[in-house]
Amino acid sequence: MAGGSAISGLVGARVHRKEDRTILTGTGRYVDDVQARGMLHAHFLRSTVAHGRITSIDVDEARKVEGVVRVFTGADMSAITEDLSFAQPIPGLHSPSYPAIAHDVVRFVGEPVALIIAESRYIAEDAAGLIEIDYDILDPIMSTTAGLADGATELFGDVPGNVVHTDEQLFGDIEAAFSQADHVVEQSLDQHRWACNPMETRGGVATYETGSGQLVYEASTQTTHTLRFLLAGWIRQPIHQFRVTANNIGGGFGLKFSAYREDVAVCAAAKAVGGAVKWVEDRNEHLVAAGAAREEQLTLQAAVKADGTLLGLRVTMKLDAGAYPINPPATVYAGLVRTTLPGPYKLPAYHFQHHIVATNKASYISLRGPWAVETLVRERLMDKIAETCGISPVEVRTRNLITLDDQPTKMITNVTLENVTAAETFQKLVEMVDLDEVRRQQEAARAEGRLLGFGVGTFIEPAPGTQEFWAAVGFPFGSEPCRIRIEIDGKVTAFTPQTPHGQSHETTLSQLIADELGVGFDDIRIVYGDTDATPFSMLGTGGSRAATMASGAAVYGARELRKRVLEIASHMLEASVEDLQIADGVVSVKGAPGASVPMGQIAMGCWLAPDQMPPGTNTEMEFVADYDGEGGGFSQASHACWVEVDQQTGKIEVQRFLVVEDCGKMINPAVVEGQVIGGIAMGVGGMLLEHSAYAEDGQYLTATFMDYLMPSAPELPEIEIEHMEFETDKVVGSRGVGEGGTVLAPAALLNAIDDALAQVGRPRITETPITPTRMLELLGVIEKE
C-alpha cells in the first residue's frame, strides 16, 4: 500500500499543532523555567586566552562571597569526574580526551576554567569576578593552514601535527577521467564559521537525591538516551540510577546532539553539593563557547567533456575542528561530505581527500545538514562548468543529472539511488522559471545601472539515508522504536525516543496513529524526553530521521495494536476481522453500525480481566514496535534564487526564492513548509550575515547579537514552495525535510551572486560570508583588506 496510512484522514492535512497551545500561552517548561526549592545556580568562569598554560588559580576570595556554596577549579572537578572522551575505534582518528574544567592548558577563548555554585546567578557571577588566574601564553593556531604548517605548535600531545584525521579515497579510474577531459574546471571555497544559535542556549538542571543516590538531569538536548550513557561514565554515576529528561526545547539545529563538558560539570556539582543545580548559558557564553560549524576549505578539480559531461572529480577538504572533539567524531562529517558530494549526478570517477585539523577555537559542531558544504561546492562547480563549456546552468545540470529512468543505480560512492527525484524537481523548477525572461530583466536592469543575479541548485538529502549510505559514511543506521499503549479507557499514549524541539512530532505522530488506529487526534498523547519512559535510541531527534523512522515505528506499533483490538472485537461482535472498522475509538461491523463495541471497553477488559477476554487473543494493550526503515531513502529539492546587488553599498537583497521539494508523502504540509522555509532562512543568514569570527590572537569577536547578526524578518524573502510527492511502494513514504533548506539555499544564493558578478566582469566568490564589505571587494569598489 502506497503512502503509509490505513485510513486516509489526518495524514496529509494541515492539522493544527498539538504543541501550539503550550508555546503560545508561555506555559512550556524550558530549562530556565525549572524552579526547585533550594535550587542552586551554576556559572562558569571561562578562559580569556586562546592558548595558554594555567600557572595559578586563586579562588579564595570567590569562596568567601556570601551565597557562594562551592567553587570548583579544574583540579577539584577532575577529582570527581573522568575526562571526556569521544574516541572511537576509527583507524587514524586522534581524539584527545579532556577534563570538564581545564586545569593545565586552555585551548580556546571561552574554555571553562572554574565553576561557581551559588544561591543565585547574580552572586555566582559576582564571585567569578574575584577569581584570579595567571596564564603562560602559548602560540595560538587560528587556521588549518597554521595548524598544518611545518613546526607548528601542537595543541595536544596525542594529535601529531594537529591532524585529527586524514584520509583519501578513490572511486573509479580518476587518471583516465582526467586524461579524457576536454576541460579541467577548478574551484575553491573557504567557508567561514557560523553557528546554530538556537534561541534557547544550552542548559540543564541536575538534581541529586542523596538518599536514593538517583540523579536526574533535565536538559536542553536533542538526545536524552545518548546524553545519559555518555555522561554516566564521566560523572561516575551508575546508569540505572541516572535519568535524563527533556521538556520543551528551544531549538537545537545539531548543537544539542552532543554531550558537553558543562553537562559533566553541572551533574558532578549536583552530586557533590547533594541537591539541585541549574546551569543556563547566557548568549555571550553561547556565542563564545558552545561551538560553531561549517569552517571548511575545499578545492575541486573537475574533468569534463566539451559538452559539460562530468568525467571525474578530485576534491580536497580541510576542516577546522576547533580544539576539542564532540559527538559525533569529526570523521563522520568528512565521511558525510565525501559520500554525498557526487549528489544526484552521474560521476564516473572520484577522488576525495580530507584533513581534519585541531585549532584554538571552540569545537566544530553539527549544524543542520552538517555535510552541507558538499552541495555548496558541487552546485557552484556545476555553474563554473557551464560557464567554461558555454552552456546554461540549466543545461549543465540536465546533462548530468540521474533521472528516475536511470534508477536504480549506484553513486560512485557505492550508494544505491532508487526513487530519487532530484532531476524531476529540477525539471519542474525549470518549467516554473522563464530563463530567457530572467536574462532580459537582468539586461534591462543593467541599462538602469542595477545588478540582478539568478542562481539555481539541486541536491539529495540523506533523510534518513540508507544502510549503504551510512555504511559508506562510517556511522550506524539504527532502527527506531516506538512504544504504544491503548489506555484503560481506549485513549492512546505513545512513547518515542525522538526529542522534538520545533519539528512538531507530537502533531505528526498523532496524525499517523489517529489514522491507523481510528482514534481521535486529541485522544493521543506523545511522550518524549524521558529515559525512564521512552525506548532507547542513540539518535533522538537529528539527521532528519523522524519523518521516516519515528513515523514508521508509530505506524507499525499502531497496526499491531489495531490487529489485537480487531481480533478481540471479532469474537465479541461475531464478525470476521475483515468486516470490522474502527472510527472515533469505536469498533463496528461495516454496514451494521448497531453492532459495535468501544475500544475503551475492549481495553478495560484487557487491562483488568484479561482471563475473561476471548481465548486465544492477545490482550497486551502495549507494544514496542521497531521500524527498520524499509531500506530508507532520500529527500530532494531544487532551488532558484533571485538577488539584487547594490553596487554602492554592497547590500545583497534576496528578491525571490523558489523551491521545488519532494519529501515523499507529506504528513502535514504546514510542518513541511515550516521546515523548508526555516531551513532556507538559516542558509541565507549563514551566507550573508552570520560569522563566528576570531581575531588572529584567538580572541572571539562576535560575542553578542549586535556582532553576530541573526537574520530578522526584513532580511528574508517570501519563499515560494512547490511540492512534489513521489510515492514508493513502501509502507512509510515520508522522508525528512528538516535540514535540506539550509543545505541547498547557500548554493542557489551564491550562484545568484556569482551570476551578478559575472555580468560586470568580476571574478567568482572564493570565500564567505558575503557581507556588504566583501561584496564591495568582489565588485572591485574597494580593495581587499
Partner 1 sequence: MNTREITVTVNGRKRTVNVEVRRTLADFLREDLGLTATHLGCEHGVCGACTVIVDGHTERSCTQLAVQADGREITTVEGLATGDGELHPVQQALRDNHSFQCGFCTPGFVMTIYGMCEDKKAGRPVPCSRTEIREELSGNICRCTGYQSIVDGTEAALAGTAGKES
Q: Which residues bind partner 1 (CB under 8 A)?
A: 14-17, 19-28, 30, 32-33, 35, 122, 197-200, 248-251, 253, 282-284, 501-504, 670-671, 673-674, 677-682, 704-706, 710, 712-714, 716, 718-719
Nearer to partner 1, 123 or 566 (CB): 123
> What residue type is 533 in one-letter code?
A
Nearer to partner 1, 384 or 505 (CB): 505
Q: What is d(CA 75, CA 81) in angstroms, rounded to the nearest whole number?
A: 10
Nearer to partner 1, 348 or 502 (CB): 502
Q: What is d(CA 243, CA 234) in angstroms, rounded to the nearest whole number?
A: 15
Residue 263 backbone class (left: φ over 0; alpha: ψ -120 to 50; beta: rest): alpha
Nearer to partner 1, 135 or 657 (CB): 657
Closest to 561 in 3D by CA, of 599, 517, 506, 509: 517
Please report how close the Cβ of residue 661 comes to partner 1 at its closest, in angstroms.
Answer: 14
Cβ pair 220, 196 in contact under 8 A = no
Nearer to partner 1, 471 or 693 (CB): 693
Nearer to partner 1, 397 or 501 (CB): 501
Please report how close the Cβ of residue 393 comes to partner 1 at its closest, in angstroms.
Answer: 25
Q: What is d(CA 333, CA 350) in angstroms, rounded to the nearest whole number?
A: 18
Nearer to partner 1, 237 or 510 (CB): 510
Q: What is d(CA 184, CA 90) in angstroms, rounded to the nearest whole number?
A: 34
Nearer to partner 1, 95 or 248 (CB): 248
Please report how close the Cβ of residue 706 comes to partner 1 at its closest, in angstroms.
Answer: 6
Please report how close the Cβ of residue 535 comes to partner 1 at its closest, in angstroms.
Answer: 24
Nearer to partner 1, 14 or 236 (CB): 14
Cβ pair 59, 114 in contact under 8 A = yes
Residue with cell 484479561: 610
Cβ pair 664, 727 in contact under 8 A = yes
Please report how close the Cβ of residue 739 comes to partner 1 at its closest, in angstroms.
Answer: 13
Q: How far apart are the first and last CA of the chain?
A: 61
Closest to 505 in 3D by CA, of 519, 486, 525, 491: 525
Residue with cell 550508494: 415
Residue 217, C-alpha cell as written in the block:
538531569
DSSP class of 625: E
Residue 119, C-alpha cell as written in the block:
544561591
Closest to 280 in 3D by CA, of 26, 84, 41, 28: 41
Nearer to partner 1, 16 or 440 (CB): 16
Give the list of residues 6+ apart from residue 337 with CB closer than 8 angstroms, or none: 296, 317, 352, 354, 371, 373, 374
Please report how close the Cβ of residue 30 comes to partner 1 at its closest, in angstroms.
Answer: 6
Please report how close the Cβ of residue 256 comes to partner 1 at its closest, in angstroms.
Answer: 11
Please report how close the Cβ of residue 702 comes to partner 1 at its closest, in angstroms.
Answer: 12
Residue 220, C-alpha cell as written in the block:
536542553
Nearer to partner 1, 31 or 159 (CB): 31
Please report how close the Cβ of residue 714 comes to partner 1 at its closest, in angstroms.
Answer: 5
Residue by residue, DSSP assigns 496-547 as -S---SSS-HHHHHHHHHHHHHT--GGGEEEE-SBTTTSPP-S-SS-TT-TT
SS3 call for 277: strand
Q: What is d(CA 112, CA 126) in angstroms, rounded to the nearest whole number?
A: 16
Nearer to partner 1, 14 or 563 (CB): 14
Cβ pair 740, 459 in contact under 8 A = yes
Nearer to partner 1, 446 or 525 (CB): 525
Please report how close the Cβ of residue 390 comes to partner 1 at its closest, in angstroms.
Answer: 36
What residues does 208 pair with on adjacent strands?
Answer: 215
Burial group, residue 37, by CB count within 10 angstroms (0-12, 13-18, 19+)? exposed
Please report how close the Cβ of residue 676 comes to partner 1 at its closest, in angstroms.
Answer: 8
Nearer to partner 1, 28 or 172 (CB): 28
Please report how close the Cβ of residue 581 comes to partner 1 at its closest, in angstroms.
Answer: 24
Please report how close the Cβ of residue 681 comes to partner 1 at its closest, in angstroms.
Answer: 3
Nearer to partner 1, 207 or 421 (CB): 207
Helix residue ranges per DSSP H, 544-608: 549-573, 599-608
Please report how close the Cβ of residue 18 comes to partner 1 at its closest, in angstroms.
Answer: 11
Neighbours of 718 (CB within 10 A): 9
Residue by residue, DSSP assigns 121-167 as HHHHHHHHTT-EEEEEE-----SHHHHHSTTPPPS-TTSGGGEEEEE
Please report how close the Cβ of residue 740 comes to partner 1 at its closest, in angstroms.
Answer: 13
